Structure 1
Amino acid sequence: MGDGFIRWYRESGETSIFSGQVATFDRSGVTIAHPDTGIVTVVNVDGDDVAVDFERLGWVIALRIPSVTVNWWISAETNVVSTYSHEPLGCEVQTFWLDGVDTSEVQTLMSAIMSTISQVPTPTRALVCDVQGLTDADDWDSVALYEGADIPGAVDSVLLGKGVADRVLSAAGLCGEAVGFGLVKVLAT
C-alpha cells in the first residue's frame, strides 16, 4: 500500500488561483502560515522546511514552471505536504500527501478544496481522494490529463470535470452523479 493522497487537477487559467486558494483554505481552517509562528515554509530537496515570503511563493507558483512543495497547516501540530506541478498541456496539478492525517483532518482538507473549487474561476479537471494509498497518484494522470479512460483503482472519491467524465463514464460503463461546480462523482458499480 502506498501513501494516501488527494490529487487536484486544474485547468491553467490566465492567472494563478494561489491567493484565492490561500484565502478560502484559511476560512476552512487550513492555513499556509504556521498557526503559531506565522511562518510560510516550502520543503527543499533534502526535505527541510525553508521559510519563504508569501508574495515570493505566490510569484513562483504563478510562473508555472517549477514544482513547488509547501506545507499547509490544519493545526499547529498537523501539516499536510502539498506539491504544485504544471503539466505540458497547461494543467496545474496539486497533490496533498496525507501521511499522519486522521479522518477528520482529511475531511477538513476536502472541505477546503471543495470550497476553493466553488469560488475560483479555474475549472477542475479531476479531484481524486485515495486516503489509503491504494493507487499511485501518478496513475491518475492518464485519465485527468490525457485521453485515458481506465480508472486505475477503487478509491475514496473521484470527481471529474464534465469533458473528462463524459469520456471515462462512457468508455468504462460507469455511472456518475453531478455534484455541482461542473463536476461529476464517479459511482461504484
Structure 2
Amino acid sequence: MGDGFIRWYRETGAESVFFCDQVAVFEQHGFTLAHPRTGVATVVNVDGDDVPVGFEVLNLLIGLRAASISINWWKSADINVVGSYTHEPLGCEIQTFWVDGLTTEEARAFNSAVVSTMSRVATPTRALVSDYRGITDAGDWDSAILYGGVEIPGVVDSLLLGPEPSRRILSNSTQLRGAAVGDSLTRVTAT
C-alpha cells in the first residue's frame, strides 16, 4: 500500500490557477499556504526540508511551468498536505496532493477544496483521482489519463473523469459504470 493522495489532471497548464483561484478556495476550506505560526509559505526541497519562500516568488515559480515544485498546504501548525505541481510534455498540468497524514474526514475536506477549485476555473479537468488510503500509486494513473490506456490501476475512494478518458475507459470495461457529474465529468465506480 502506498501513500494516500489526490491527483488532479488539468487539460492544460497554460493558465495558472494557483493565485487567481486556488489559494482563496483552499483557504475557504481551512488549508492555507502560510504556516499558521510563522505566516510564511514553504516549498519542499529535494531533501524533504521546508524552505521559506515569498508568495510572489512561489506564484512565479508555479507560473513558469518549467519544473516540478512541491509546496505545503497547512491545516494547522502540525498538519499539512504536500502538493506537487508538474507540467507534462502533452500540455497537461498535474497537481498531486499527499494526504496520508490526514484523517479520512480531513482528506475529504481537502478533496472538497480541490473540487471547488475545479468548478471555478475555465480549464477543464481531465481527471480527479482520490485515493486517501494509497491503494494505488499516483503515477500509475498516467497511463489511463494521459497516454490512452484503457484500464485503471484500482478502485479508489473517488474517480472523476473528463469526456475523453471516461469514454475510452468505460467502453473497454464491463466492471465499471459511470454517472454524469455536472456538465463534463463522469463519476466512475465499480459495478
TM-score where L is the length of structure 2: 0.95
What residue number does 2:156 align with? Answer: 155
**Cα deviation 1:91-115 (Å, max 9, x = unaligned):** 0001111222101110110110011
What residue number does 1:7 align with? Answer: 7
Q: 1:183 aligns with which of 175, 182, 185?
A: 185
Report if the CA contact (8 A) 1:82-1:96 is conserved: yes
1:181: Cα distance to partner? 5.0
What residue number does 2:42 align with? Answer: 41
What residue number does 1:17 align with? Answer: 17
Please give the alpha-carbon distance, in whole angstroms, between the structure 2 residues aligned to 1:21 and 1:186.
25
1:22: Cα distance to partner? 0.7
Q: Structure 2: give runs of 5+ residues left out of the alignment.
A: none
Q: How does 1:1-189 map to 2 (within 5 A)?
A: 1-19=1-19, 20-173=21-174, 174-189=176-191
Letter of the aligned partner of 1:182 in structure 2? Answer: S
Please give the alpha-carbon distance, in whole angstroms, between the structure 2 residues aligned to 1:137 and 1:14.
22
Q: Structure 1: give runs of 5+ residues left out of the alignment.
A: none
**Cα deviation 1:27-67 (Å, max 9, x = unaligned):** 11111111232110000011110000111111111111110
1:13: Cα distance to partner? 4.7
Decide which moves more: 92-101 or 43-52: 92-101
Letter of the aligned partner of 2:18 in structure 1? Answer: F
Letter of the aligned partner of 1:160 in structure 2? Answer: L
1:5: Cα distance to partner? 0.8
Report if the CA contact (8 A) 2:4-2:100 is conserved: yes
Following TM superposition, the consecutive aligned residue runs of length 4 or more in structure 1 with deviations greater than 3 angstroms are: none
Please give the alpha-carbon distance, in whole angstroms, between the structure 2 residues aligned to 1:149 and 1:32.
36
Report if the CA contact (8 A) 1:83-1:95 is conserved: yes
Aligned positions, number: 189
How large is the Cα RMSD of the aligned pairs? 1.1
Report if the CA contact (8 A) 1:117-1:181 is conserved: no
Report if the CA contact (8 A) 1:118-1:181 is conserved: no
Letter of the aligned partner of 2:187 in structure 1? Answer: K
**Cα deviation 1:69-110 (Å, max 9, x = unaligned):** 000011222100111111010000011112221011101101
SS in 2 for 1:23: helix
Please give the alpha-carbon distance, in whole angstroms, between the structure 2 residues aligned to 1:161 and 1:75.
33
Letter of the aligned partner of 1:177 in structure 2? Answer: A
**Cα deviation 1:5-35 (Å, max 9, x = unaligned):** 1111112154211111111111111111112
Please give the alpha-carbon distance, in whole angstroms, between the structure 1 residues aligned to 2:190 and 2:102.
25
